[in-house]
């Protein structure tokens, strides 16, 4: 089975890549740099070029999606738009264009802030919540399965973001990677796999 993995060079993407390769999949990696295929998921034309270059795949797995982290009082209108473009519109576009290229499943990334808010995380919360609502809605309209993985902070990311997530129990990133396997190999659709 051929899988297109977007964001494969990151903390989460690296673990998903490892797990999928261990399971014998042919994984094509994509990101802005350092992958098999260059893509910027905030640019619809770049997503189109990626799919045209890669061709038909059984599954699309997304481990990319950036949002600004700022106190609510410091957020500019543009920061909100950037967060929606970076994590919501980008992943919706992976599915929208992917309908023509992906035969089996889409697995998107959200995060714990959709259900457990933190200071400075307003845009992350709204982006994660929007992607989760989209996944439930898309699942009843498309023939491919569509799921999201919604993890808490990874043990591997505590050094970077640990102060923000005081009192949150981190999980090994591999647990989130396993949820991608569940989404790709399973039969469920419209599911949000909460990890931690
Ligand atoms: N880290 C955590 O503890 C944690 C917990 C819960 C949820 N999450 C979510 O998981 C996702 C990945 O987090 P991470 O910590 O693995 O991030 P990361 O280490 O920064 O990796 C991000 C990956 O996405 C790629 N990427 C970023 N922007 C892109 C774009 N516009 N187009 C294409 N590729 C892009 C990056 O490569 P290039 O920069 O080369 O493009 C990289 O491969 C995020 O949405 C995050 O909110 C993370």
Class of domain 2-195: alpha beta
Question: Would you say the CB of residue 31 lies under 6 angstroms from ligand 1?
Answer: yes
Alpha helices per DSSP H over the chain? 11-22, 44-54, 77-83, 90-98, 122-139, 158-161, 173-185
Region 72-95: what's the mean pLDDT?
A: 98
Pocket test of ligand 1: the residue of 4, 5, 6, 7 to mutate, having most ligand atoms within 8 Å of its CB, is 7
| Nearest protein CA to atom 25 of ligand 1, as residue | 7
Q: How far is the CA of 136 from the centre of ligand 1 (A)?
A: 22
pLDDT of residue 97: 99
DSSP code of 151?
A: E
pLDDT of residue 89: 98
Q: What six digits make up the tokens of 13? A: 């993407």
Strands 26-31 and 2-6: parallel
Q: What confidence tier does 61 reach under pLDDT thresholds 50, 70, 90?
A: very high
pLDDT of residue 66: 95
pLDDT of residue 188: 98
Question: Would you say the CB of residue 190 lies under 6 angstroms from ligand 1?
Answer: no
Region 147-172: what's the mean pLDDT?
A: 95
Region 50-58: what's the mean pLDDT?
A: 98
The whole-angstrom separation of Cα 186 and Cα 188 is: 6
Which residue from 46, 5, 52, 51 is spatially nearest to 25, judged by alpha carbons?
A: 5
Report pLDDT digits (tens) over 26-41: 999 999 999 999 999 9
Q: How many CB atoms within 10 Å of residue 135?
A: 24
User: Between 161 and 188, where is the model more confident?
Assistant: 188
Question: Would you say the CB of residue 64 lies under 6 angstroms from ligand 1?
Answer: yes
Every domain of the chain and the residues it spans: 2-195
Question: Would you say the CB of residue 170 lies under 6 angstroms from ligand 1?
Answer: no
Region 101-108: what's the mean pLDDT?
A: 99
Q: What average pLDDT does the structure give for the chain? A: 98
pLDDT of residue 162: 83
Report pLDDT digits (tens) over 105-134: 999 999 999 999 999 999 999 999 999 999
| Nearest protein CA to atom 30 of ligand 1, as residue | 40
């Amino acid at each position: 089975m051929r899988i297109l993995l977007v964001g494969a060079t990151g903390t989460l993407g690296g673990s998903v890549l490892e797990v999928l390769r261990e399971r014998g999949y042919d994984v094509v990696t994509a990101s802005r740099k350092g992958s098999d295929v260059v893509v910027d998921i905030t640019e619809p034309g770049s997503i189109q070029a990626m799919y045209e270059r890669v061709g038909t795949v059984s599954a699309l797995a997304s481990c990319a999606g950036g949002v600004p982290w700022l106190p609510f009082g410091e957020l500019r209108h543009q920061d909100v738009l950037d967060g929606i473009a970076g994590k919501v519109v980008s992943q919706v576009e992976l599915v929208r264009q992917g309908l023509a290229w992906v035969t089996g499943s889409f697995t998107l990334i959200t995060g714990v802030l959709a259900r457990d808010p933190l200071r400075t995380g307003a845009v992350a919360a709204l982006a994660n919540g929007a992607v989760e609502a989209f996944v439930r809605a898309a699942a009843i309209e498309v023939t491919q399965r569509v799921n999201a993985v919604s993890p808490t902070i990874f043990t591997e990311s505590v050094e970077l973001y640990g102060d923000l997530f005081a009192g949150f129990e981190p999980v090994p990133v591999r647990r989130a990677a396993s949820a991608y396997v569940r989404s790709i190999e399973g039969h469920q659709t419209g599911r949000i796999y909460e990890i931690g």
